[in-house]
Every structure is written in structure tokens, then in C-alpha cells.
Chain A
Amino acid sequence: MKLNKKSKDNYITYAIVMVAYLIFQILSATGNLSSHMTGLLVPMTYYAVIAVALNLCVGILGELSIGHCGFMCIGAFSSAFFSKLTENVLAWPIRFFLAFVIGIAFAALFGFLIGIPVLRLKGDYLAIVTLAFGEIIKNVINAFYIGVDGNGVHFSMKNSMELNMEPDGNLIINGAMGITGTPHNSNFTIGIIVLLLSLFVVQNLINSRDGRAIMAVRDNYIAAEATGINVTRYKMMAFVLSAAIAGAAGVLFSHNITTLTASSQYFGYNASIMILVYVVLGGIGNIRGSVIAACVLYLLPELLRGFSTYRMLIYSIVLIVMMIVNWSPRVIEKREKLAAKIGFGSRKKIAR
């Protein structure tokens, strides 16, 4: 079978993920994985998934979103709500599958609704507005109170007493206290499957006609428009897909945690910036890089305890240095001169 370079590249990515999966499974089966380490596996997968989502937005669409954790938050809450509601009605595989459908659908819907105003903007403005939406989502969910009893669903934005439920009612979303007791359905295997699926979708999109249109919009939207590409449509396509994948990460997240709250620790803009660090370090526009960077950067500080105090500090320095080394016109010039001197010739950079 003859493969072209791009599909070969894609298969290498899937292979890396599957090899990593096998290694962890073997380690786990032979008892070489501590319980602490086992607990890190699922978070590792959902961080990898959301890093892929953000890279689609930053690297392929070329717009910086600092509110991607907001979409993760929507996916997490909508799916956890559904799972709590149907906990005793449906068998878990069906319920969890439907939870994914619902989480992804809601995240995509909000991606679309938020995309309408956001994608009219560019650059700095777009970044700050995504940040604003991320914070709005977090704040609004923190003010939600939803309960269910014999009379149906009750909803309030004040407090749980306002719901006027029957005494046997079930309070599902309790404002800032969030959702407690979502069934723990996420596991490493499902996480890896979700990661592979999102990789499949994103990598195939990039190599498709639509993907090339999206990248044309990224590189020069005026030229893209002049060649007949519907700029808004392709921007929206990438943005909604990115939001949907972030929603899938949220579903994994919410079904792996006992108490789900819309706290800044998980869904604030600092969390979104963490993911941006993964994307930048893995290489903007390089999907495989994001997955590797997310896994390594998530596991390393958790394993090296002494390092974890300085983790954020080091990340911030890495972010600045990476940007200057990769993008500064003067540094690029020097690097090319050096490369020419050594004899590599001027190697062309792939990312833009």
C-alpha cells in the first residue's frame, strides 16, 4: 500500500497514541503504575483532547481563543446534568454515549452562538472577547440552580430555596456548589478513544478541501475572499468544531470528578492559558505536537514534586522564549544565516 506523506504523518500520530496507550496498559496490568499515576491518566487524555481543539482554533484557523475552557465547561455541565438525570434509567454505556452526544452538541451550539459575534472580530479583539465569553459562561453556570421532582424541572438563578421543590426533589445543579456525584464513567480507554477520534476528525479536516480553505483564510483572508472562499462559513466551521471537541474533553472531565464546579481553577482563563502553553510548546499548527506536549507537560510536574512549585514560572518563561525564538524577525534571520553556514541551507518552516 502506498501512502502519501500527509496520511503517513497522520498514521504516525495515531500510532504514537496507541503505543503510549499500550505502554500504560502494560505498566498498569503488571502493577508498575502507582495509584497516583493511574489517577493522572484520564486527565492526561482530556488535556490532550482540548489541546487538539485549541490547536485547531489557534494553529489552523489562526485566531487566538483564551476562553476554550468555557466550551469545556459547557460540555462538562450539560453532560453531567444528563447523566445525573438518567442515572437510574439507562445502562451506563448507552448513558455515557448519549452524554457525549449531548456534551458535544451543547458545546457546538454555544460555539456557534458565540462564534456569530466573535468571528466578526480579529486578533487582539477576538482573543479578549473569547476570554470574556469564557468568564461569562463560568459566572452564569455558577448562578444556576436546577432541580427535578415529581412536578418536573425547577430552575432558578437566585438560590436553591427559590426552586420550591417537593421534599423528595433532586437538586442537580446547586449554583456555585455545582454538580455532585456524577457517575465515574470516564476511563483511560475511553479517553484514548475520544483522543483518537478527535485526532481523526481534525487531521482529516486539515487535509481536506475545507481545511485548505480554512488555512487560506488564516494566511490572508482578503485574498481568500477574492478567490471565492466564504470566509465566515469556514471560520465558523473551524470554530464550532473546535468548541465541539473541547466539549468532548469536558464530558471526560465531568465523568471523572466527584464534585463538578465552575471554578476558575478548571475553567477560568488561567486554565485556558495552560492549554495555550501546551499548544505553543507542541508547535502552533502541529496537531501531533499538541498531543505530545499536553501529555508530557501534564505528567512531568505531577511526577516531579520539587518541580511543581516552579512549574508555572517555567511555563511562562518557555512561552516567552518560544515566541521570540520562533517569530522574532531578527532571530529568524540569524537562525537562517547560521543554518546556511553549517550547510543545511535555508530550511523552510512549516508553520506558516
Chain B
Amino acid sequence: MSFLTYLISGLSLGSIYAIIALGYTMVYGIAKMLNFAHGDFIMVGCYIIFSVTGALSGNSAIGIIAAIVLCTLLGITTEFVAYRPLRGAASPLAVLITAIGVSYFLENVALLIFGADIKSFSSVIKWEGFTLADGQLRIQGVTIVTILVSVVVLVVLQLFIKKTKQGQAMLAASEDKGAAALMGINVNRTIMLTFAIGSALAAIAGALLCSAYPSLSPYTGAMPGIKAFVAAVLGGIGSIPGAMIGGLMLGIIEILSKTYISSQLSDAIVFGILVIVLLVKPTGILGKVIQEKV
């Protein structure tokens, strides 16, 4: 029974990784850049929920909406100010270093505003959950909501990409920016939209992450962000179902290795998986092979 408990908490953590990884994978698939600051958008979202909920004496619904709206704006602004000028730069390192700079910037702004001390985040989900099998198996409300939200997000995103014009524009831009522009697609706006969606997902992931693990500091988002990138690579970067599969696998692996191997080494194991995946199958589980030409 305890194994089942761990499996469920792994699924819950994995769902959070999956939502973050969806944002990563979309941005990477279309803008072809690693948005290092993605994890920090999560942290910003958490702080917005924390402050708004605190100011409104516990109304977390408005907090979540505010976080989604503000994170979306933050994503768009970041793309416009920091990343867009570097599109087409001679060195691919330029935009990566800028992204690291943005990540650093957000962490330090949060540090100046909120301080380094860890804030206790009250869960946005008030439902206690239920117990099964005579109280031996307890499933928390957060867990169920997290898993449900990730499934809904996955389905909505898939429908958006497959069925809407904007979604098709995204696919086209991810295949070939020049050709997409010739077909009348506004590539800049499409990339901006991708950032907006990714950042909104980061806010949602933040609400769920901090509800499940209620300690909030300026560095809250950094590790989950990086692990979500690992998940995106594991599932195949650029692939939306891949991000989901990768996220779930990574969450389960992390919780199980924490329980059965060593809590100190669990991060090392997660990163070890990244290394193995990149060596054995660099395209991930569902990724496409891209041959580089001269």
C-alpha cells in the first residue's frame, strides 16, 4: 500500500513537471531557444498568488487569475525586451546567456521585494481529499486536482494546436520560420503567443507546486524548472504528448528514488537520466530527428 502512496505522489509531482514542461517544449519548439527563466516565471506566479491572496484575506481564486494574467504579461514583456532583439544573432549562446540573465534578474527582484526567508504558502485547494482501504491510502485533494488540471491542459493544448488557425501557425513557424512568414503568418506574433501560453502554464504550475509543497522562496522555481526541462527532453523536445509522458515519468522516478534509494541522491539520479537519454536517444521518446545541414 505504501508503494501505491508513493506512486500517487509521484504522479502528482509528475503532473506539475508536465505542465511546466509543456511551456518549455512549446517555447523550445517554436522559438528554438531554451527559456532558462521559465522556472522563475513559476516563482513569480507563486509570489503573486501569495500576495494577492494575503491582501484579499484568503480569496485564492482572484490570486490565481491575477497570477495567470501577470505571468502572461511578464512572458510577453520578457520575449519582447530580452529575447526578440537577439533573434538571428550570430552566436546561439547570446540568447541562452540572456535567458540566464533574465532568470537571475527575476530571482533577485523577488529577493529584494520579499526577502530570502521562506514563506509558508497556504494551499489554493481547500479540498482535503479522501481515504481509501480503511484509511491506509490517503489521497489529497491537491493530488487529484493537479492530475486533472494537467490532463485538461494537455487536451486543450492539443486541440488548440490541431484545430485552430493560430495553432497551425505555431506548427508552421516551428517547422520553418521563413516559409511561414511567406505564407502570411506573423512569426513574431506567433512566438509572442507561445510565450504567453507558456507563461500562463507556468503560473498554473506554480499554484499547484506551492499547494503541494508549501514553501516559497525566490529559488522555488529554479529546480522544478530545470527538472521540467529534463522532462521535456526525456519526452522529446517540441512534442506536447512527449512533455506529458516525460513529466509523469520523471515525477515518479524522483519520488521512488527519494524513497527507496537515497533522498540526497535523488537529484543526481534525475539528472543522470537526462544524461542517459541524451546519449542513448537524444530526440527523446516522441521527438523528431532533425538532421543538421551545412
A residues sitting closer than 8 Å to B (CB atoms) are 58, 62, 64, 66, 117, 120-121, 123-125, 127-129, 131-133, 135-136, 139-140, 142-143, 157, 176, 222-223, 273, 276, 280, 284, 309-310, 312-313, 315-317, 319-320, 323-324, 326-331, 352
B271 touches A135 (CB 8 A): yes
| Cα–Cα, bound, A222→B292 (Å) | 10
> B96 CB to closest chain A CB, in angstroms?
6
A327 touches B33 (CB 8 A): no
A135-B268, A313-B108, A323-B86 given; A128·B91 CB < 8 A: no
Q: Is B290 on the interface with A (CB-CB < 8 A)?
A: no
B92 touches A123 (CB 8 A): yes
14 contacts between A and B (CB under 8 A): A58-B93, A62-B93, A124-B33, A124-B34, A124-B96, A125-B278, A128-B34, A132-B226, A135-B268, A135-B271, A315-B104, A317-B101, A323-B101, A329-B89
> B233 CB to closest chain A CB, in angstroms?
7
A313 touches B226 (CB 8 A): no
A132 touches B230 (CB 8 A): yes
The interface residues of chain A lying within 8 Å CB-to-CB of B268 are: 135-136, 139-140
The 3 A-B pairs of least Cβ separation, nearest first, read A319-B101, A132-B271, A327-B94
B265 touches A140 (CB 8 A): yes
> B27 CB to closest chain A CB, in angstroms?
11
B265 touches A323 (CB 8 A): no
A320-B82, A327-B91, A328-B86 given; A125·B97 CB < 8 A: no
Q: Is B88 on the interface with A (CB-CB < 8 A)?
A: yes
A121-B278, A125-B282 given; A313·B105 CB < 8 A: yes
The interface residues of chain B lying within 8 Å CB-to-CB of A276 are: 97, 100
Residues in B244-294 with C-beta less than 8 Å from chain A: 262, 264-265, 267-268, 271-272, 274-275, 278-279, 282, 292, 294
A121 touches B86 (CB 8 A): no
Q: Is B98 on the interface with A (CB-CB < 8 A)?
A: yes
B275 touches A129 (CB 8 A): yes
Q: Is B229 on the interface with A (CB-CB < 8 A)?
A: yes
The interface residues of chain B lying within 8 Å CB-to-CB of A124 are: 28, 33-34, 92, 96
| Cα–Cα, bound, A284→B90 (Å) | 13
| Cα–Cα, bound, A267→B104 (Å) | 16
Considering the complex, give the chain A residue whose CB is closest to the CB of B93: A64
B residues sitting closer than 8 Å to A (CB atoms) are 28, 33-34, 82, 85-86, 88-98, 100-102, 104-105, 107-109, 111-112, 226, 229-230, 233, 262, 264-265, 267-268, 271-272, 274-275, 278-279, 282, 292, 294
The interface residues of chain A lying within 8 Å CB-to-CB of B267 are: 135-136, 139
B108 touches A131 (CB 8 A): no
A123 touches B85 (CB 8 A): no
> A313 CB to closest chain B CB, in angstroms?
4
The interface residues of chain A lying within 8 Å CB-to-CB of B28 are: 124
> A262 CB to closest chain B CB, in angstroms?
11
The interface residues of chain A lying within 8 Å CB-to-CB of B93 are: 58, 62, 64, 123, 284
A316 touches B97 (CB 8 A): no
B101 touches A132 (CB 8 A): no
A313-B112, A317-B105 given; A127·B34 CB < 8 A: yes
The interface residues of chain B lying within 8 Å CB-to-CB of A140 are: 265, 268
A133 touches B275 (CB 8 A): yes
| Cα–Cα, bound, A146→B292 (Å) | 47
A135-B268, A319-B100 given; A143·B262 CB < 8 A: yes
The interface residues of chain A lying within 8 Å CB-to-CB of B82 are: 320, 324
The interface residues of chain A lying within 8 Å CB-to-CB of B90 are: 327, 329, 352
> Which residue of A120, A136, A309, A327 is within 8 Å of B89 (Cβ)?
A327
The interface residues of chain B lying within 8 Å CB-to-CB of A135 are: 267-268, 271
| Cα–Cα, bound, A100→B11 (Å) | 47
A123-B92, A132-B274 given; A320·B105 CB < 8 A: yes
B104 touches A316 (CB 8 A): yes
| Cα–Cα, bound, A35→B223 (Å) | 38
B275 touches A117 (CB 8 A): yes
Q: Which of B28, B86, B101 has most chain A Cβ within 10 Å?
A: B101
> A273 CB to closest chain B CB, in angstroms?
6
The interface residues of chain B lying within 8 Å CB-to-CB of A323 are: 86, 94-95, 97-98, 101
B104 touches A324 (CB 8 A): no
The interface residues of chain B lying within 8 Å CB-to-CB of A330 are: 85
The interface residues of chain B lying within 8 Å CB-to-CB of A142 are: 264
| Cα–Cα, bound, A312→B219 (Å) | 14
The interface residues of chain A lying within 8 Å CB-to-CB of B264 are: 139, 142-143, 176
> A306 CB to closest chain B CB, in angstroms?
13
> Which residue of B34, B85, B98, B292 is within 8 Å of A331 (Cβ)?
B85
